[in-house]
Amino acid sequence: MINDEGEPHATGSLSRIINDYRQAGTALTKLALSFEALRQQIQTAGQNAAGVPLARDPASPVSSTVMVHCLGRFRIELDGEPVPIPDGGRPLAVLKFLAARAGRPTPRDVLLEVLWPEVSPDASTNRLRVAVHALRRCLGDTAAHLVEHTDGCYVFSPNNATHLDTEMFQQAWRHGIAAERMSDAGTARHSLEMAESLYAGDFLEEDVYEDWTLVDREFLRDTFLNVLTKLAVLSLEERDFAGCLDRCMQIIRHDVCNEEAYGLLLEAHIAIGQPGRTAYWFSICERNLDRELNSAPSEKLIALMSTVSSGAGRRPANARRTAD
């Protein structure tokens, strides 16, 4: 193609230049996004590139990062540093209740009913006021803002990036279940293992006599047992017998009558070629079921025992009765 001056158009060259420019722009945009993501990660962690804690400006609008641990031993971290908490008493109880509901406002009347159920409204209101004052004094200037009161409600850490280990645990579990339903075993195992690692202990394990902790503790424990069971099954399918045995033992420590765990345990020992251990764990199961539930092992467990050679030990009593 010729232009008005009789010279050829540089259409091809111009197109290449424009294309190169666009590619360079895309690359720069990706680089900028990557840099911003890295900057935010560093800011969230409260550290600079050298790993030195960044100084916090109390007047800065940038929020802090708060990590609340309710699984196992209760503790709070602010920008990676431990927050001082009361040694005990109602100030600590107020903190635990609010922290376990991080970000969700709690009406004053709810706190009064939970922590002082048998005390008159006037007396319990005064006790709450004293407890919150003592709590803020204990937290100190750096963390006193973690407990705020507005519109008749108390709320924990409303203006910070707050992470609650119980929520992280449940999110990992749900992700694992969803991946399992999609037949994505790799993602399921990864997510369930993450949930397993997050479960540092029962919910507020030092507060077993606080009524308000009971429902959450039992729900989270049951969820953890579900996580362990699914990981034990995956381990058995992948011939990771050590992983299967470990998960089964953890389940039985929590629930001595969990027949599913005993069944997986027996299958693993049979696969390894340990008939003696198979018979031993069947007898433990038999004894616990009889003592705790006044029942006998299921037909499935008895059938598993029938695969063990007679030299492994005595034939289970229940198997003899069934055969009779």
For residue 16, the model assigns a pLDDT of 55
Number of neighbouring beta carbons within 10 Å of residue 186? 9
Rounded Cα distance between 29 and 220, Å, is 43
Rounded Cα distance between 142 and 83, Å, is 9
For residue 309, the model assigns a pLDDT of 52
Per-residue confidence band for 10, with pLDDT thresholds at 50, 70 and 90: very low
- Name the β-bridge partners of 68: 76, 164
What's at 7, amino acid-wise? E
Average pLDDT over residues 123-130: 94
pTM of the model: 0.74
Rounded Cα distance between 32 and 19, Å, is 20
Average pLDDT over residues 56-68: 64
Tell me the per-residue pLDDT of 170-201, one tens digit each, with 9 for 90 and over.
999 999 999 999 999 999 999 999 999 999 99
Question: Cβ-count burial of 29 within 10 angstroms (0-12 exposed, 13-18 middle, 19+ buried)?
Answer: exposed
Q: How many residues would you count in the chain? A: 324
pLDDT beyond 70 at 36? no
Rounded Cα distance between 163 and 153, Å, is 21
Task: Look at 90 and 317; give whichever has higher pLDDT.
Answer: 90
Tell me the per-residue pLDDT of 93-122, one tens digit each, with 9 for 90 and over.
999 999 999 889 999 999 999 999 988 989
Taking the alpha carbons at both ends of the chain, their separation in whole angstroms is: 100
Asked if residues 266 and 273 have their Cβ atoms less than 8 Å apart, the reply is no
Question: Cβ-count burial of 28 within 10 angstroms (0-12 exposed, 13-18 middle, 19+ buried)?
Answer: exposed
pLDDT beyond 90 at 81? yes
* 3-state class percentages of the chain: helix first, strand second, coil last, to nearest 5: 65, 10, 25
Rounded Cα distance between 306 and 58, Å, is 69
Per-residue confidence band for 145, with pLDDT thresholds at 50, 70 and 90: confident
Percentage of residues in the chain with pLDDT exceeding 90? 64
pLDDT beyond 50 at 280? yes
- By mean pLDDT, which of 108-122, 226-240, 300-314 is the weakest? 300-314
Per-residue confidence band for 307, with pLDDT thresholds at 50, 70 and 90: confident
pLDDT beyond 70 at 296? yes
